[in-house]
């Protein structure tokens, strides 16, 4: 009779891998909420305080929020991922998030253009855009930017 091997270098069981993935998704969501707050505050600040139009405010706010979420995802969500040079990784993060950006800001622009309620309360358009882009953003961030070591 053979003894079961005690191979501590073996891949974690599926349950452990699933638990780790769910943890990443949850942290990504928390970071997304923080990004949403930064995005909204920037839109409101640029539009209502600085006088920028909603499209300019939305575009600039996206860069500010994306930079914030990149930093938080690097430090927390994907903390075990490869540690490339920060500037290169940031640029890659912004580049691969373009699909999410298109979904996010396309939704935002459509709502502030065609829904008077969203134009009066841009938080509605920011929220809808954030939800539209989140899934794509997680997949591209995990698979391309923050690959496991």
Whether residue 4 lies inside any domain: the answer is: no
pLDDT at 110: 96
Whether residue 96 lies inside any domain: the answer is: yes
Whether residue 95 lies inside any domain: the answer is: yes
Sign of CA dihedral 16, 20, 23, 29: negative
Whether residue 59 lies inside any domain: the answer is: yes
Whether residue 68 lies inside any domain: the answer is: yes
Percent of the chain predicted with pLDDT > 70: 91
Whether residue 56 lies inside any domain: the answer is: yes
Q: 93-149 pLDDT, tens per residue?
A: 988 888 888 998 899 999 999 999 999 999 999 899 988 888 889 999 999 999 877
Write down the mean pLDDT value for the chain: 89
Q: Which domain holds residue 119?
A: 23-145
Sequence-distant contacts of 89-92: CB under 8 A, at least 24 apart: 89/145, 92/144, 92/145
Domains in the chain, number: 1
Whether residue 139 lies inside any domain: the answer is: yes
Phi-psi map region of 17: left, alpha, beta (phi>0 left; psi -120 to 50 alpha)? alpha
pTM for the predicted model, two decimal places: 0.74
């Amino acid at each position: 009779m053979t003894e079961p091997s005690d191979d501590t270098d073996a891949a974690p069981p599926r349950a452990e891998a699933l638990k780790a993935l769910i943890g990443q998704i949850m942290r990504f969501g928390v970071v997304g909420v923080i990004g949403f707050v930064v995005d909204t505050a920037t839109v409101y600040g640029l539009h209502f305080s600085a006088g920028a139009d909603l499209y300019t405010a939305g575009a600039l706010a996206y860069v500010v929020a994306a930079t914030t979420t990149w930093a938080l995802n690097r430090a927390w969500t994907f903390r075990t991922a490869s540690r490339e040079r920060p500037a290169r990784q940031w640029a890659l993060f912004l580049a691969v998030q373009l699909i999410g950006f298109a979904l996010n800001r396309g939704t935002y622009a459509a709502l502030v253009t065609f829904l008077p309620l969203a134009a009066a309360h841009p938080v509605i358009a920011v929220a809808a855009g954030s939800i539209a882009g989140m899934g794509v953003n997680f997949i591209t961030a995990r698979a391309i930017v923050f690959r496991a070591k």
